[in-house]
């Protein structure tokens, strides 16, 4: 790849680091691992930089094994994750972010194609855990608990596992064969999933099955009703119920023209599904773009396919097929009505605005606290007020996405494991984040991101074929090699070549380097040139 000179202006702290050199050395260099911003931003806690390093070398199976230590769904999340890791990527200060999700998707798809099993060793503990709900949070908790040696059973109320991965994400975004392959891989580890098993009494099920702990991953699959005046209205549907009906083959009388009220990804998904069914959809949201829960790219994709998305619109009345809509405004940070009204005509209304959890069946657990929207109160370790009953995912509220739910399941598994052992889980301290200002890059690689090809909107709306296609091996490896390895040595030999005293010793491939402090003068040249900030200068009296 072509390189070009980068900004050689010394770090504002470089003068301080370089003081006290020679025989009177007061500071010395040390190799130190810092936290990459991508790792820091991942809700699932993936060690992104580690598995990307394997992908850079073309060892995709090693990348897969590293990846699934934290996330069991690389093929799924490579498609549907909103990739907050890329938002924090330091490469955005140079050209464009590393396409982390596209590399993850390639690795996930290759693992399915090759049939790579998940490798781990765990000594059976004899402990049993009940997971209620086979959505992303529940499956993630079950997966990590099995890897810890526990026996796990999952009770799912519906006829298929996956939760909204199955019923809520359309196949144009997530092909069924990818979803099913990654869920089946969890089952192959020994997780038993019982379908059509609705739990009405958690404590009774816990006692009946001799379970030592319970994880509630039941989601928040109901839409709140809005204060709308209905007079002999058109059919009104809850978005989640409609998705379940459509998946089961039922065809509710939607007509040819519908209104979807909501501004999240669910509203965008539904509108694009309706488009493929030949139904015209109007999406109304009462807030502005900043308040819209859907990410910009999700709304942009819907608009590109011909969806009518109207912001700052609130439905006030539905009289037969006529919708009275008030134009809203943001005034001093508050959403208020303007008194101006518009009229729409439609054959049905789909409520897809605020989610709420249906947790009434938990009423007999006195110590468990639920909020007005049905969400469950949990502590730092995801435990409810009742000892041994944990919860995570959409049912605990906050920002909702599959990757956050997966992270909740993983985190809960760690605390459940400690609880089963009669211990208290202690979080490991995190390294300092290697932000871009910490990097001392003396070069810049001219390598823009390889974007995924997409079906043209006019073609995409004609079927449920996957809209976004994946990268080739060559493209995925190229994308991996764009990683800057922020905060962690990648053995570029820069320090070795720059040291004027020959004080740096190479330890061999994969072993990095060490300093010979008998020769080191503390001049900080190694620190100056390290492009990824894997070297720090520390006071001499900090050393043993």
Model pLDDT, residue 3: 36
- 198-248: per-residue pLDDT in tens? 999 999 999 999 999 999 999 988 887 888 999 988 999 999 889 888 888
Looking at 353, 381, 401, the residue that finishes a domain is: 353
Q: Is 447 a residue whose pLDDT tops 50?
A: yes
Would you state the structure tokens that stand for residue 174, as one six-digit string? 């997530």
Model pLDDT, residue 446: 66
* Residues 230 and 302 occupy one common structural domain: yes
Candidate from 81-85, 224-228, 363-367, 447-451 with smallest mean pLDDT: 447-451
The Cα–Cα gap between 85 and 35 comes to 12
* Residues 315 and 213 occupy one common structural domain: no
Q: How confident is residue 9, by pLDDT bands cut at 50, 70 and 90?
A: very low
Count of alpha carbons within 13 angstroms of residue 204, beta-carbon side: 8
Helix (H) or strand (E) run with residue 84 in it:
helix 84-87
Q: Is residue 438 part of a domain?
A: no
Model pLDDT, residue 513: 95
* Residues 340 and 231 occupy one common structural domain: yes
Buried b (16+ CB within 10 A) or exposed e, 6-41: eeeeebeeeeebbebbeeeeebbbbbbebbbbbbbb
Q: Can you give the residue range of the structural domain that contains 519? A: 3-33+489-542
> Highest-confidence range of 131-145, 390-404, 511-525, by mean pLDDT?
131-145
Q: Residue 104 phi/psi, 5° resolution?
A: -60, -40
Q: Is residue 235 part of a domain?
A: yes
Q: Is residue 426 part of a domain?
A: no
* CB within 8 Å of 363: residues ≥ 6 apart: none
> What dihedral do alpha carbons 47, 50, 56, 59 form, nearest 10°?
-100
The Cα–Cα gap between 39 and 28 comes to 28
Neighbours of 420 (CB within 10 A): 20
Model pLDDT, residue 4: 36
* Residues 244 and 312 occupy one common structural domain: yes
Buried b (16+ CB within 10 A) or exposed e, 488-505: bbbbeebbeebbeeebbe
Q: How confident is residue 357, by pLDDT bands cut at 50, 70 and 90?
A: confident
Q: Look up the CATH number of the domain holding residue 105.
A: 1.10.1060.10
Would you state the structure tokens that stand for residue 115, as one six-digit string? 């049939």
The Cα–Cα gap between 21 and 222 comes to 66
Model pLDDT, residue 542: 57
Q: How confident is residue 26, by pLDDT bands cut at 50, 70 and 90?
A: confident
Work out the average pLDDT over 465-471.
93
> Highest-confidence range of 11-15, 303-307, 396-400, by mean pLDDT?
303-307
* Residues 186 and 252 occupy one common structural domain: no
Candidate from 224-238, 266-280, 338-352 with smallest mean pLDDT: 224-238
pTM over 0.95: no
Q: Is residue 176 part of a domain?
A: yes
64 or 440, which is more confident: 64
Residue carrying structure tokens 């089952």: 187
Count of alpha carbons within 13 angstroms of residue 23, beta-carbon side: 0
* Residues 405 and 519 occupy one common structural domain: no
Model pLDDT, residue 395: 93
Would you state the structure tokens that stand for residue 26, as one six-digit string? 């007061």
Q: Look up the CATH number of the domain holding residue 501.
A: 3.30.70.20
Q: Is residue 41 part of a domain?
A: yes
Q: Look up the CATH number of the domain holding residue 202.
A: 3.50.50.60
Q: Is residue 91 part of a domain?
A: yes
* Residues 217 and 233 occupy one common structural domain: no
Torsional sign, CA 126, 129, 134, 139: negative
The Cα–Cα gap between 85 and 100 comes to 8
Work out the average pLDDT over 38-61.
95
Please, are residues 143 and 189 in contact by the beta-carbon 8 Å criterion? Answer: yes
* Residues 176 and 280 occupy one common structural domain: no
Q: Is residue 434 part of a domain?
A: no
- 110-150: per-residue pLDDT in tens? 999 999 999 999 999 999 999 999 999 999 999 999 999 99
Please, are residues 465 and 455 in contact by the beta-carbon 8 Å criterion? Answer: yes
* Residues 94 and 144 occupy one common structural domain: no
* Residues 250 and 314 occupy one common structural domain: yes
Q: Is residue 436 part of a domain?
A: no
Please, are residues 27 and 522 in contact by the beta-carbon 8 Å criterion? Answer: yes
The Cα–Cα gap between 402 and 372 comes to 23
Work out the average pLDDT over 392-418.
94
* Residues 411 and 320 occupy one common structural domain: no
How many structural domains comprise the chain? 4
* Residues 346 and 366 occupy one common structural domain: no
Q: How confident is residue 5, by pLDDT bands cut at 50, 70 and 90?
A: very low
Three state DSSP letters for 419-464? HHCCCCCCCCCCCCECCHHHCCCCEEECCCCCCCCECCHHHHCCCC
């Amino acid at each position: 790849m072509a390189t070009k000179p980068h900004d050689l202006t010394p770090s504002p702290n470089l003068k301080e680091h370089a003081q006290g050199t020679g025989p009177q050395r007061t500071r010395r260099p040390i190799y130190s691992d810092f936290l990459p911003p991508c790792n820091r931003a991942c809700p699932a806690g993936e060690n992104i930089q580690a598995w990307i390093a394997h992908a850079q070398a073309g060892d995709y199976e090693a990348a897969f094994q590293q990846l699934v230590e934290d996330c069991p769904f690389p093929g799924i999340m490579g498609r549907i994750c909103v990739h907050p890791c890329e938002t924090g990527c330091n490469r955005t200060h140079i050209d464009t972010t590393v396409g982390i999700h596209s590399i993850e998707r390639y690795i996930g798809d290759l693992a399915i194609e090759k049939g790579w099993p998940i490798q781990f060793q765990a000594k059976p503990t004899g402990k049993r855990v009940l997971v209620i709900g086979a959505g992303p949070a529940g499956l993630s908790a079950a997966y990590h608990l099995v890897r810890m040696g526990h026996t796990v059973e999952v009770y799912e109320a519906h006829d298929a596992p996956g939760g909204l991965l199955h019923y809520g994400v359309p196949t144009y975004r997530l092909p069924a064969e990818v979803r099913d392959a990654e869920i089946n891989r969890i089952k192959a580890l020994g997780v038993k999933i019982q379908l059509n098993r609705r739990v009405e009494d958690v404590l009774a099920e816990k006692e009946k099955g001799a379970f030592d702990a319970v994880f509630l991953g039941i989601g928040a699959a109901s839409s709140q009703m809005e204060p709308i005046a209905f007079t002999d209205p058109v059919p009104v549907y809850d978005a989640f119920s409609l998705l379940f009906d459509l998946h089961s083959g039922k065809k509710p009388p939607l007509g040819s023209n519908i209104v979807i009220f909501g501004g999240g990804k669910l509203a965008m998904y539904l509108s694009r599904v309706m488009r493929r069914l030949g139904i015209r959809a109007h999406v109304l949201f009462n807030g502005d773009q900043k308040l819209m829960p859907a990410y910009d790219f999700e709304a942009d994709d819907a608009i590109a396919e011909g969806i009518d998305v109207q912001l700052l619109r609130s439905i006030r009345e539905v009289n037969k097929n006529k919708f009275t809509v008030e134009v809203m405004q943001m005034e001093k940070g508050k959403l208020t009505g303007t008194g101006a009204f518009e009229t729409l005509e439609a054959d049905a209304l789909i409520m897809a605005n605020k989610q709420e959890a249906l947790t009434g069946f938990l009423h007999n657990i006195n110590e468990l606290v639920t909020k007005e929207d049905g969400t469950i109160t949990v502590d730092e370790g995801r435990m409810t007020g009742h000892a041994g009953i944990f919860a995570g995912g959409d049912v605990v509220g906050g920002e909702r996405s599959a990757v956050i739910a997966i992270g909740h399941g993983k985190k809960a598994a760690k605390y459940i494991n400690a609880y089963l052992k009669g211990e208290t889980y202690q979080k490991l301290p995190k390294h300092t984040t290697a932000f871009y200002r910490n990097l001392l890059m003396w070069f810049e690689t001219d390598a823009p991101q390889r974007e995924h090809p997409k079906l043209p909107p006019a073609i995409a709306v004609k079927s449920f074929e996957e809209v976004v296609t994946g990268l080739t091996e060559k493209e995925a490896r190229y994308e991996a090699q764009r990683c800057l390895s922020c905060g962690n040595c990648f053995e570029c030999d820069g320090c070795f070549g720059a040291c004027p005293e020959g004080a740096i010793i190479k330890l061999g491939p994969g072993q990095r380097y060490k300093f010979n402090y008998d020769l080191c003068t503390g001049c900080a040249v190694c620190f100056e040139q390290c492009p990824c900030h894997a070297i720090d200068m520390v006071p001499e009296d900090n050393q043993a």
